[in-house]
Amino acid sequence: MSTSIIAGSTGLVGNNILNQLCENNHNVVAVSRSPISGLSSKVTELVIDFESFLTNGSLPKCDHVFLCLGTTLKIAGNKNNYRRVDFDYSLGIAKKALESGAKKLTLISSGGADSSSKNFYLRVKGELEDAIINLGFESVNIFRPGFLTGAGGRKRALSEKILMKLAKLLDLVLVGSAKKYRSINAEVLAKKMVSTLDSKPGINYYYYKDFIKP
């Protein structure tokens, strides 16, 4: 049986991926900063300090890595700290997974990600995509969702809870080429990401229309 590593397993999407893999009796290694309560006995927990891990750490043998790390500018405090988490930590995990035998990588990015974007958030997401593609994985699956909704992950700020409730209304005005930015439920997105365990070689991009396919 293959083994998957999840970086960001306590987040909104990562937590849903973790639950779905456990339901399918898949071997899972959950990477986190601190112990995760209520973990299934099917999961191997790997608690790390990301700073020291980037220099001296290693990952157990694996076949597939799910990159679901992420923060917000508000939580990070500044752009440097934000980039450290979203770019440096994510890329570091990807490199360690490749060294440990992973052939496939699945990344949650963002709709509009572009390394040449003037928007800081979208530029960092795009730069991470480019850097990961250049690592040489057999299969790279990049998911570009719009606003994420659903349960799980960290405690949400009031403003985020309000946006989640308004998301379906906002979706009504996102038509045509803007449809790809519609909100998506994290559980639905996670299910599609889990399906990439069987992905074909190459660079594969996924958008809203792909998430909602059976």
Residue segments in the chain with a per-residue pLDDT below the cut of 70: 151-173, 214
pLDDT in tens, 108-152: 999 999 999 999 999 999 999 999 999 999 999 999 998 888 755
- From 87, 72, 69, 65, select the one nearest 12 (Cα to Cα): 69
User: How many residues are listed for the chain in this entry?
Assistant: 214
CATH fit for domain 3-207, picks 1.10.10.10, 3.40.50.1240, 3.40.50.720, 3.30.930.10? 3.40.50.720
Tokens, residue 164: 């989640």
Residue pair 186/149 in contact (Cβ under 8 Å)? The answer is: yes
Positions annotated as catalytic residues are: 121, 125
User: Taking the CB of residue 109, how many other CB atoms lie within 10 A of it?
Assistant: 23
What is the pTM assigned to this prediction? Answer: 0.89
pLDDT in tens, 142-160: 999 988 887 555 555 555 5
To 10 degrees, what angle do helices 12-23 and 186-194 make?
Answer: 50
Domain ranges of the chain: 3-207
- From 184, 207, 204, 189, select the one nearest 112 (Cα to Cα): 207
- Percent of the chain as helix, strand, coil, to the nearest 5: 45, 20, 35
